[in-house]
Amino acid sequence: MNFICGHFQLDLTVPRVMGIVNVTPDSFSDGGKFSNTNLAIEHALKLAKEGADILDIGGESTRPNAVFVSVQEELDRVMPVIEGLVSQVNIPISIDTYKPQVMQAAIAAGASMVNDVRALQEEGALEIVARSKVGVCLMHMQGTPQTMQINPQYNDVVSEVKSFLAARLQTSIDAGVPKNRILLDPGFGFGKTREHNITLIQQLESFAELGQPLLVGLSRKSVLGQVTGNDVDARLYASIAASVIVAQKGAKILRVHDVKATVEALKVVTAII
Ligand code: PT1
């Protein structure tokens, strides 16, 4: 199974790692714009050296209670990082955004993939991806980051997430996005309780029926904090356990903060499965 994004072709017979590069003021503490840009580029280069297969650049946090960022602010954050990285790495650069204007600018600057937590539902997003050669990840979310964790409810979380992804997949194919450029993602932590997240992990194999490679993001998320009692900065071991389990259950791309540790753990998974 191959995933095509831009001029890259990713062989997904083994699980791959997407390294997270957050370009938000809080992610690189102090410093102004210039230092934020350079620290983000440095961090991305480090993740590439550690064996990341994709770099995911994001300028607006989508974790629970995150604050909304304007198009201009998001562009100011991510564009210098993408522009600085394209000539320095030989792996796909992904833009983590739901905003069509940001997708457009990032693609023009050389991004090879769009990672959209709103699954191309914003006006114009679908057309931008369909008209270009980029890959895309369609993710499920209930609600919005500002309110999604207030009272998430499902009759059947697995079938509801699957139906949503199946519908967005069909809409994308109908709009002209080739199947081999589409990844699907259940959206862990996006309008889901601890129980919802655990159930989705338990039944992850059943997402294979959608016929597309799965991307999974569980790195440092609150479900792992709920299970271990650990704060966000002490969830590495829990994240590795989650990565190993989901890889074993068929996830093809793992979106993680800790690339070196994940790459090493996945080498063991790959050797065994
Ligand atoms: C994800 C993802 C993402 N997660 C994709 N993109 C985030 N494709 C950003 C928590 O519960 O899973 N898949 N882009 C980060 N979002 C969250 C959500 C971070 C929940 C933390 C939590 O702690």
Q: Whose CA is nearest to atom 4 of ligand 1?
A: 217
Number of domains in the chain: 1
**Alpha carbon of 25 to ligand 1 centroid (Å):** 17
pLDDT of residue 29 exceeding 60, the answer is no
pLDDT of residue 31 exceeding 60, the answer is no
Question: By residue range, what is the domain housing residue 54?
Answer: 12-272
Say which residues have a Cβ less than 8 Å from residue 30's Cβ, sequence separation at least 6: none
Q: Is 139 in the pocket of ligand 1 (CB under 6 A)?
A: yes
Q: What average pLDDT is seen over the chain? A: 96
User: If we measure between CA atoms, which residue out of 124, 132, 154 comes closest to residue 4?
Assistant: 132
Give 55-91 pLDDT, tens digit per residue.
999 999 999 999 999 999 999 999 999 999 999 999 9
- Any catalytic annotation for residue 77? no
Has residue 78 been placed in a domain? yes
pLDDT of residue 54 exceeding 60, the answer is yes
What band does 35 get if pLDDT is binned at 50, 70 and 90? confident
pLDDT of residue 26 exceeding 80, the answer is no
- DSSP string for 106-169: HHHTT--EEEETTTT-STTHHHHHHHS--EEEEE--SS-TTTTTSS---SSHHHHHHHHHHHHH
Give 82-100 pLDDT, tens digit per residue.
999 999 999 999 999 999 9
pTM comes to 0.97
The residue to which tokens 């297969």 are assigned: 53
Has residue 219 been placed in a domain? yes
Catalytic pick among 192, 220, 252, 255 = 255
Has residue 7 been placed in a domain? no
- Any catalytic annotation for residue 255? yes
Has residue 2 been placed in a domain? no
Residue 16 or residue 32, greater confidence: 16
CA dihedral of 273, 54, 137, 15, whole degrees rounded to 10: 0
Least confident range from 66-70, 90-94, 106-110, 246-250: namely 66-70
Has residue 156 been placed in a domain? yes
What band does 172 get if pLDDT is binned at 50, 70 and 90? very high
Catalytic pick among 118, 220, 221, 235 = 221
Interval 189-218 mean pLDDT: 98
Has residue 3 been placed in a domain? no
* Domain harbouring 215, CATH code: 3.20.20.20
Has residue 81 been placed in a domain? yes
**Alpha carbon of 257 to ligand 1 centroid (Å):** 11
**Alpha carbon of 172 to ligand 1 centroid (Å):** 22
Has residue 6 been placed in a domain? no
Q: Whose CA is nearest to atom 9 of ligand 1?
A: 62
Tokens of 182: 């589409």
Q: What are phi and psi of 93, to 5 degrees?
A: -105, 125
Give 214-234 pLDDT, tens digit per residue.
999 999 999 999 999 999 999
Counting from 1 in the atom list of ligand 1, the atom nearest the Cα of 187 is 12
